[in-house]
Structures are given as C-alpha cells and as structure tokens.
Amino acid sequence: MKRRLGTRWAGLVLALALAGVSGCARQRVLTVPDAEARLRADIEEILDNPAFASGHWGVVIQSLRDGHYLMRRNPHKAFMPASNLKLFTTATALARLGPDFRYVTRLFRTGPVVDGVLHGDLVIRGVGDPSITGRYHEGDPLAVFRGWVDSLKSRGVRRIAGRIVGDDNWFEEEILGTGWSWDYESDWYAAQISALSFNDNCVDIVYTPGPVPGSPVKYELIPNTRYVEIDFRVVTVRPGLEKEITYQRKRAANLVRIDGSLPAGGESRRDWFSVENPTRFAAVVFREVLEASGIQVDGNAWDIDDLPDYTYPDSCPVATYTSPTMAEICTAINKVSQNLYAELVLRTLGKQFRDVGSAAKGIEVVKEFVSEIGIDPQELVMVDGSGLSRYNYVTPNSIVTLLRVMRRHPVGRYFYDSLPIAGVDGTLKRRMQGTPAEGNVRAKTGYIENARALSGYVTTADGEELAFSLIVNNYTVPTSLANDAQDLICQRLASFSR
C-alpha cells in the first residue's frame, strides 16, 4: 500500500515539475485565462489524488491585488479547522486589545511586615498572563518568582507566617476546552486552563539515555518540584528499537506514568507533560523558590478555590510582573501553535469586553469582530480559542476573508509577522525547504486527527500576493501526504506567472 501511494505521489510531483513548478518560462506565453486554467488543473490533480478518496478538500485562493479568485473548491462548506482557528483568536486580540496590550500580575500580602516577619498570606492574583514561563525569560521558568523573592528581601522579609495562595478567579472555572478529548489531558498541548498559569502549566523533563542497552535513563524535572510524582519506566535500548515516550497522568492527580525507550548513546532530549490544577502548581513552586532562597514559609500552598469564603485586601501589593506585548504573545500562539496561550487570550477578550472571563464571552467578541469585517458569523462555529476541539467548524471562504482584511488592517503587520515562514521557523520550519515557497509562504498550520489545514499568504513569480486556505478533513492516509499536497500547491502558487 505504501509503495503504491509513494509511486503515485512521485508521479504527481514529476508531472507538476514538468508542467508548472519548473515551467514558469513556458507559462508566461499563455494568456491570463489559460495560465489560471492551467494552475487550477494542476491543483485539481493534487486534490483528486486517490490517496484522498475518503477525505474532502476545501480550497480558496484569492488575489490580494484585485480581489478575484484563482480557485475555489467547497468554499462555503464547514470544515474542522484545527489550529487555523487561532487566526480568528489572534486577529481579534490584536484588533480589540491592541498589539501593545500587556498583562500585569500582582503579588499581595494580607498582613503587616514586623521585624522581618510577614504576618499573613502571600496571594498571587492571576489575570490570564501566559508569559510566566521560560519562553520569555531566557529559558528560566522561575525568573518571575525569583524577581518577587528579591522584592520581598528588599523589604526585609525573612519569614512568611502564613500561606501562599494562588488566585485564579479572574476567569471562570473552565480547566479544559469544550469537546477536548480525554486522552489529550496528560499532554502539553492540552494543558489545563487557569487565570494563574506558570510554565505553560507543564513540567519540563530532560532525558539522558544510558551508554549501552539496559543501562538506566536519567531524567531531570524543570522546575525541580515536589508537586508531581513520577512513575518512570523509560529504558535504554539498541538504536533502532526505541519507542515513543508517552505520559499517563492519573485523573485529578499529579501521579504521572512515563513509558517508552531511548537509543543507547543518544543525545539528551527535552519534553513536557501537563499538571493537574495549574493554580496550586504555581503556588507550590513559588513556595519552593521562597524556601530555597532562605525565606521561611510556615503555611502550605493553596488554590483559592479550596479556601471557602477566602477574601483578601488588594491594597497591599508587594511585587508585580508585566508581560510582553500582545503582539509577542500572538506570535508565540501562531508560530508554534500554542494552545494554552490561545485559550487564555480568548478568555481575556471575554473579561475585557464582557466582564466575564469565559470562552463563551470571548467567542462573542470574536464573532462581533468578524461580523464587522464582512464574515458571516454563521460560517464560524467556535467553541474554544485554539482549535483543539472537533466541535469547531469554519469555511475556507471565511478564513481567506479574514486573511484579506487583516493584510490591510491597521494592526495587520503584527498579524502577518506572527505567522510561520516556510522553511524558516515555527511549525513550517521543515516544510517546503529548497523550493520557491521557502521564505515566501507565511501560513498557519492546523492538525487534529484526520484534519489538516494550512492558510496564509504567498507571493507569485510575478510579485502578486495571494491569500489561500487549504483544508482537508476525513482523510485516512498518513498526515505526511496531506502535508505534501499542501506544500505542492504552495510551490505551484509561488511559481505561478501570468
């Protein structure tokens, strides 16, 4: 089966090379209608490949020079967009909140400081900031907490005669998105949602395989915390026999079973797994940082939801942390397809413009924005901010409309710059290398099981900019073939000449 698919695909690649991607000089003698007809025929041949007999494609390609469509297939049909939904979340955030919007997270004390002793609790009030993580602090996830420790020490605090409390009540209690699969829960891409988020609500783990088969695999947790308990079953094996590392976190707990194998003598590798209750996770790790720095903490770390009727004054902040800009956060969302950040931004929209930090209220703001720019809200069925749910549906036509409008929007340059560049960075770093699309295509990828999407911008050989959306649902072949099809189309568009 694989050999037949490979042969069929190789033939198609060769045909395109002869007819289109490498044949720009020959195309230039055609009339414009003939050139476009040839382009459509080449793309149709890719889409009609028997490998996708069980699937269906949605394709819209539009010129941003004059607005006419070079191709449309199922433009108004509903498709699961996967992470292409992030285009709507980030576009709305940039337009409504502004590219310079920043989160401010505050640390409060609930009592006085007397002779170096804080007589009360320390409360971390989360407001949805995704940036308390190593991504924005030179790889050090504890940088913000260490800064807070320095602030406390500058005030002479040597002991906390109270507790560390994490306050996540800025958002509603929605720890997972609607329709998220239960078997995602241990993985980093489905990390729980909290207004108080730390280290992407995950623990990093660095593995170092042994020198010979059967020797122990060493591991290091970052942060090195007691918050999780590890049942470690990863072994060193002969190269070529290694198996994928998997995580199973016990439901509503932080006991994590890790299975798999690594090749003997191999290099260290880094991975991530999610935690239960990110709010308490942040409080526990902050307490650990305090104690490691020499500040004694008498009480335990708590999630505010586990302290009935708990209130505290907000008149005594002892430290603050200000996030990077929304433009920088949206770049992380789109470049690496960061689901948690998209969910936090969606709820921030709800809190800022509807006074309720929920997905539903955030979606109201997104739909209001897309309606204003000419997209029929009926063509956007949205239940989360990241696209991880299979309950999301959008039309290729709506995606291209969004792309077209954002290219000329006052905040459009931030949106454009947030997208992965083919062959260069983000989720497109290893795709389309060595082709006319490399360094040219800027597009958002999307993947959930049997759904693959790629939407963005490409400039033709004539310097004409196009917006495109390529989505396939319900295919049963390896996703690499869907990638190949999308990449071939992008190469054809990058080489297109009238």
Q: What is the DSSP string of 371-391?
A: HHTT--GGGEE-SSSSS-STT
Tell me which of 83, 197, 389, 497 is the catalytic residue: 83
As given in the structure block, the two tokens for residue 11 are 């033939």
The answer to whether 443 and 456 have CB atoms below 8 angstroms apart is yes
Assess whether 22 carries a catalytic annotation. no
Q: How far apart are CA 110 and CA 121, in angstroms?
A: 5
3-state class (DSSP) for residue 6: helix
The whole-angstrom separation of Cα 438 and Cα 490 is 10
E strands present in 122-228: 122-125, 159-160, 164-167, 202-208, 218-222
Q: What is the DSSP letter of 268?
A: P
The tokens describing 282, both together, are: 């942040």
- Catalytic status, residue 77: no
Beta-bridged to residue 106, according to DSSP, are 125, 320
Helix (H, G, I), strand (E, B) or coil at 129: coil
Contacts of 494 (CB under 8 A, 6+ apart): 435, 436, 437, 440, 441, 458, 459, 460, 461
Token look-up 């198996």 returns 243
Options 131, 337, 418, 469, the catalytic residue: 337
Buried/exposed code over 264-301 (b: 16+ C-beta within 10 A; e: otherwise): bebeeeebbbbbbbbbbbbbbbbbbbbeeeebebeeeb
Alpha carbon distance 163, 304 (integer Å): 11
Question: Is 154 considered catalytic here?
Answer: no
DSSP assignments along 15-31, one per residue: HHIIIIIT-HHHHTTS-
**What gap in Å lies between CA 262 and CA 361, rounded to an integer?**
45
Measured CA to CA, the distance from residue 476 to residue 449 in angstroms comes to 10
- Closest by alpha carbon to 493, among 6, 35, 10, 3? 35
Q: In what order do the strands lie in the sheet with 218-222?
A: 218-222, 202-208, 269-274
Calpha distance 364→353 (Å, rounded):
9
The catalytic residues are 83, 86, 337
